[in-house]
Amino acid sequence: MQRRHFVLATLTLPAIAQAHHGWSSFDQQRPLWLHGRVVSVRWQNPHAELVLERPATPSLPPDLKQRRLPAQSAPVDGAALLAQAQLPRRQDRRWEVELAPLSRMNAWGVTPLKAGDEVGVLGFTFAEEKGAALLRAEYLFVGDAVYGLRSSPM
């Protein structure tokens, strides 16, 4: 009986670990900008997620480097990230975006997103840009509101 549980855990833990990515899996030296319409949302733990559809010809907003970012409890140099932001090299129109855990989304006062909402996201993808088009969100832009998602607001 114990051996069966061990085998089951050995087979399932890698899949669980791969499904939930820590910050170290992402290239934090190359912040990426995505903008588009929300296609679908999963407002659940371990973190909220959305699928974002980018426009046919994506571009960086001309005022991106000057945008004000909220203070958060983690030491994030948001101004530097905005200054370094670039569009992904990948041409995928749809991206999966990992947001923060629901407790943190609630602390920021983020209203659950819905299909059709227009959002911007500054974040990071995998170092190799292989596999799924996935972005880990550092900042979420909804209308005039900006949320820092690595930590709680200050």
Average pLDDT over the chain, rounded to whole? 86
Q: Taking the mean position of all CA atoms in its chain, how far away is CA 41?
A: 12
Strand, coil or helix: 9: helix
Q: Taking the mean position of all CA atoms in its chain, how far away is CA 79?
A: 18
pLDDT tens column, 30-47? 999 999 999 999 999 999
Strand, coil or helix: 139: strand
- Specify the pLDDT at position 76: 93
pLDDT tens column, 93-133? 999 999 999 999 999 999 999 999 999 999 999 876 678 89
**8 Å CB contact between 136 and 26:** yes
The architecture (CATH level 2) of 25-148 comes to Beta Barrel (2.40)
**For residue 46, is the peptide bond before it cis, meaning its omega torsion is within 30 degrees of 0?**
yes
Longest CA span, the chain: 62
Asked whether the predicted pLDDT for residue 58 surpasses 60, the reply is yes
pLDDT band at 61 (very low <50, low <70, confident <90, very high): very high
Compute the distance between CA of residue 138 and CA of residue 120 in angstroms, rounded to an integer: 11
